[in-house]
Amino acid sequence: MNKLELSSLYQLTMMRFRLFLREPEAIFWIFIFPILLAAGLGIAFRNRPPEVLQVGATTLQLTQALNADKGLTSTTMDEATGTQALATGRILLLAVQRPDTTVYQYDSTNPDARTAKLLADHAIQTAAGRHDALHTKEDLVHETGSRYIDFVVPGLLGMNLMGSAMWGMGFAIVEARQKKLLKRLVASPMPRWQYLASFLLSRLVMLVIEVAAFLGFARLVFGVPFRGSIAQLALLCILTSLAFSALGLLTASRAKTIEAVSGLMNFVMFPMWIFSGVFFSSTRFPAVVQPLIKALPLTAAIDAMRGNMLQGMSLHQLLPPVAILLAWLIIPFAISLRIFRWR
């Protein structure tokens, strides 16, 4: 590569930076929004003492038995009032005294209601004189890595890398095509590969700032653990960004308008927002669709980053998701080069 080619590549890359800095909304969505989202989720789902569950009882004796459990607070009410309170969500469970038994009315699909039933039954049985057959004790463990914020940070990182790579690549290329800039550039002495390489170079530089700012915030504010190699985590982030850059290039290869490429990118990203386990585990979906979910690039990226950060897994142990990311890098990029429209 001669000095002229190096100079043109440098100028193209600097042009990408200047165009990015002229869009403050892009700076917000790439650098600030993920931090705000992590802060909101970290505060909303922070570790807290167990909540006291609201229940009801139809007799004073049942109410006193239920209030003896520190996890419950009970109010005496008649059955009609209790049924209405259950329906409106003011209580989780109603204990109804019958002539020969106690009936628990609750919604079995509500996890808090199931917990209330277990506590209520234990409290009432204890008040009736039942004793535990075996003595047990609690050994409470509060371990970083098991909290919701520890789980969600790799998901948010993967989602942000996907969005910034695809939108940054797709929008810029289609906008240049729409303004006839691509047509002018291809008529110049510029090698065509340099135009695409400038996107990748600028993306890699921005990636350093994007990842360092987000993970630095997660570490300093919430104490999110990094149990694996930082160098390997950086490599996973680079691979993720390149894979989604290739997808962004593919969606922008033929699109002529911003509206068209927006629709295509939303069509590509929307399933991954839902199925890839950003905010909850992807294993919650039925087993029949798990092979498809595992093949999604965002699922592979998040699984790999969670394995590195939370379980301390090495790249050798993460070969399946890494192989999926490599496939999503190579195949879309190769297709893009064949179908890319310069004019």
Tens-digit pLDDT profile for residues 141-172: 666 667 888 999 999 999 999 988 888 888 88
pLDDT cut 90: percent of the chain above it: 44
Under DSSP, the state recorded for 94 is E
Residues 6 or more apart whose CB falls under 8 angstroms from that of 135 comprise: none
pLDDT value for 4 = 45
Is residue 241 scored above 70 in pLDDT? yes
Domains of the chain: 8-45+147-339 (no CATH), 53-128 (3.40.190.10)
CB 247 within 8 A of CB 297: yes
Give CA separation, 318 vs 234, 278, 308, in Å. Answer: 14, 18, 8
Tokens at 70, concatenated: 């520190």
If we measure between CA atoms, which residue out of 11, 58, 35 comes closest to residue 212? 35
- CA-CA distance, 277 to 22, in Å (whole number)? 33
Mean pLDDT of 88-116: 91
Residue 5 above 60 pLDDT?
A: no
pTM for this predicted structure: 0.76
Buried-state track 13-32, b at ≥16 Cβ within 10 A, e below 16: beebeeeeeeeeebeeebbe
- Whether 216 shows a pLDDT value over 70: the answer reads yes
Distance in angstroms between the alpha carbons of the first and the last residue of the chain: 26
